[in-house]
Amino acid sequence: MDRDIRTVDDVLTLLDGLFTPEADRWTSGGVSWWDGFYADRSKPVPFFVPKPDESLVSYLDRGLITPGRALDLGCGPGRNALHLASLGFEVDAVDLSAQAITWAQDRAREAGADIRFHRGDAFALAATELSGPYDLIYDSGCFHHLPPHRRISYRALLDRSLAPGGHLALTCFAAGEMGSELPDRDFYRQCGLQGGLAYTPASLRWIFSDLTEVELRRMHDESPDSPLFGEPFLWTALFRRAA
């Protein structure tokens, strides 16, 4: 007879276990799925291209964010981490997938970029390897793959690691364009994330209501020959923590 629920972390871990490895692409059970996803570098996946997000470039060009310490959550092959490093940011980049981290390290070596890469669960690493505070926490596609209960962990990471006056820059699935629009409770009934969760501007503003909204818009559509990555089925949001 198991009686192993004593803390909030125990509850979160229990809820993680409701998702199968095929459906749950965030927790440790999904690591092998992501490793398989990143194993073939030639796949025609839009964000495999070595281009930074157009929104990130726009924030920097307009001076909305300036070089400092940055954390790239779910860095994948490192395209945004590399751009930040090229502009003088001190970058930590984390991903669950060993394949993604190896690819990102290869790109960093080729570019001569000094980036600290971390393989593992960002929420667990936030108390050990990820030594904040960070002036920028950048998330291009991690948030919409989290099961609903892990928003608690996400907000705790922001509370612990985002510097006063620092920014959260977020890119996620837009409701009506990409991602599942099921109510939160139904993901637990189906024990799957349906490929990722869709969000509305109202839901993002509510989840991050303790931060100040700087900008929230649809990502611009970038052509294949553009030096930037942009897909209009994504929201891009920039929030600022009070100084």
DSSP per-residue string spanning 137-204: EEEESSGGGS-GGGHHHHHHHHHHHEEEEEEEEEEEEBTTTSSB---HHHHHHHTS-TTSB-B-HHHH
- Of 70, 81, 76, nearest in space to 41 by CA: 76
How many Å is the Cα radius of gyration of the chain?
A: 17
pLDDT of residue 21: 53
Structure-block tokens of residue 7: 């803390």
**In the predicted structure, residue 28 carries a pLDDT above the cut 70:** no
pLDDT of residue 22: 43
pLDDT of residue 178: 96
Structure-block tokens of residue 221: 């559509």
pLDDT of residue 23: 40
Identify residue 90 by its one-letter amino acid code: E
The answer to whether the CB of 203 falls within 8 A of the CB of 226 is no
pLDDT category at 86 given cuts 50, 70, 90 is: very high
- At 214, is the secondary structure helix, strand, or coil? strand
Span 109-158, pLDDT tens digits: 999 999 999 999 999 898 888 888 999 999 999 999 999 999 999 999 99
CATH number of 8-40+51-240: 3.40.50.150
Q: The pTM is what?
A: 0.93
* Higher per-residue pLDDT: 130 or 102: 102
Identify residue 126 by its one-letter amino acid code: A
For the chain, the domains span: 8-40+51-240
SS3 content of the chain, % helix, strand, coil (to 5): 35, 25, 40
DSSP conformational letter for 234: E
The helix or strand, by DSSP H or E, that contains position 223, with its residue range, turns out to be: none
The answer to whether the CB of 222 falls within 8 A of the CB of 53 is no
On the 0-12 / 13-18 / 19+ scale of CB atoms within 10 A, 224 is: exposed
pLDDT of residue 242: 98
pLDDT category at 14 given cuts 50, 70, 90 is: confident
Q: In the chain, what percentage of residues exceed pLDDT 70?
A: 95
Average pLDDT in the 165-185 region?
Answer: 97
- Of 146, 162, 43, nearest in space to 103 by CA: 43
